[in-house]
Structure 1
């Protein structure tokens, strides 16, 4: 799958909460097709994954989700919730709490932006907890 060419290509999300719910659902389902629609084409991703610094683009996350799906990884026990969402005009900030994603727990801090009536994640800062 050429993930880089798909990011932001078919953004259908008309609210920040819709983007975040698609992110939660796509992560749960290990569905790269759902997830790729959540991210802005110029999105960045940084964070700490089990004490290892990560910096790059959402392609890293999408490739990992794709790998887990192809290996038949079970997301049994996965839970996620949008803990906070603040919207100010055409920008938003949110926190998503995930547990049980391939056996790990995450706090994701998202920034979203609205362009032409469509919302997408422009940055993701995460840590495992």
Structure 2
């Protein structure tokens, strides 16, 4: 039995994640929107330990109003796991509008195209 090869899918997912990273770096949600399903969600935990999030539009609104372009921002795709038409990815970002994040994305391959259907995140404490 041969093992599946996901090289093409890995690269396609990296391209999707890089749209997200670039949109955050430029503080422009129009760059990242194509990476997400219209039904995507985002959730995290506030500094007070409370669940926050909902529809992905909340991320876009925050990027466009509260973030600033951050040419110093650095991101790394720490992991991509793929199984058929489902995948997950971990991204670590430093110095994006003064914040550091770890993001976890769930993606699905729909009509031959990878798209983010959910994002959860952790905001790291400022040094």
Q: Sort the TM-score into its range (normalised by shorter chain).
A: 0.7 to 0.9
Indicate which of 69, 77, 81 corresponds to 1:82.
Answer: 77
1:20 correspondence with 2:51:
no
Q: Offset of 1:50 from its aligned partner? A: 3.8
Q: What 5-or-longer segments of structure 2 have no aligned partner?
A: 1-10
Q: Offset of 1:104 from its aligned partner? A: 0.9
With structure 2 as the length reference, what TM-score do the two structures score?
A: 0.81
In the alignment of these two chains, the number of paired residues is: 113
Q: 2:45 is paired with a residue of what secondary structure?
A: strand
Query: 1:21 & 1:74 partners in 2: Cα distance?
Result: 16
Q: 1:25 is paired with a residue of what secondary structure?
A: helix
With structure 1 as the length reference, what TM-score do the two structures score?
A: 0.80
Q: Offset of 1:75 from its aligned partner? A: 1.4
Relative contact order (C-alpha < 8 Å, sep 6+): which is higher? 1
Which structure has the bigger radius of gyration? Answer: 2
Indicate which of 29, 33, 56 corresponds to 2:30.
Answer: 33
Q: 2:23 is paired with a residue of what secondary structure?
A: helix
Residue in 2 aligned with 1:55? 53
Q: What is the RMSD of the two structures over their aligned residues, measured on CA atoms?
A: 1.7
